[in-house]
Amino acid sequence: MDYKAVISHRLTKEEVLIVRDELISDKASFSDFFQLIFQKPVKTAWQVAWICEKVSEADVTMFTDEDYHQLIDFTLTNNEDGLQRLCLSVILNLPLRKPVSVEFINQCFDQMISPRKPVGVQVLSMKILHKICIAEPDLGDELLASLENTDDLMYSPGFISARKHVIKFLKTNGKGAFRANRRLKDYADW
């Protein structure tokens, strides 16, 4: 399949799923396709990221450690909100790789509490921080404090709902639950 030709026009959800299935069956092509996220124009990169998001939902083994770290680095420099949301979604779907970049953690905190960011970026940043707390229990207190100190009037209902779930988990389960081998699926479906 000529992926560059396919992504040269606006894709439907059905087309995205067809390309996703093609890529999953052709792992050799996936690496080259993945690199298109970091190319111009942004509209093309956005479509590639959308397809990669669907790939990450279907098969996390398609992504290497290098891909993961490349996405982390890209989110630190990318200013396009739609592309940022898709890259954060892919990162959330993938298993956490250690060590976690302190710069990335700080950016997630900044994006989470910034009322200027779209709700998708805010909530995905919150969920990623929550996921990091599973691996790094000491971060839980900082996340809880940040969330408890947000003013509901400054945020959307989507942010407030996600915030309530994370706060409830942090207060109910505390650090001991982070150390227990809990599955992300148990709390990621909200």
- Check: CB of residue 48 under 8 Å from CB of residue 79: no
**Closest-CA residue to 60 (of 82, 90, 83):** 90
pLDDT value at residue 41: 86
pLDDT grade for 174, boundaries at 50, 70 and 90: low
Write out pLDDT tens, residues 18-69. 999 999 999 889 999 999 999 888 889 999 999 999 999 999 999 999 999 9
pLDDT value at residue 159: 94
pLDDT value at residue 6: 83
Give 137's DSSP letter. Answer: T
The number of C-alpha atoms within 13 Å of 66 and in the hemisphere containing its C-beta is 3
Cα 26 from Cα 44, distance rounded (Å): 21
- Check: CB of residue 171 under 8 Å from CB of residue 144: yes
pLDDT value at residue 183: 43
Write out pLDDT tens, residues 58-108. 999 999 999 999 999 999 999 899 999 999 999 999 999 988 899 999 999
Cα 116 from Cα 123, distance rounded (Å): 13
What is the residue-averaged pLDDT of the chain? 88
pLDDT value at residue 180: 41
Reply yes or no on whether the pLDDT at 179 is more than 80: no
Write out pLDDT tens, residues 103-128. 999 999 999 999 999 999 999 999 99
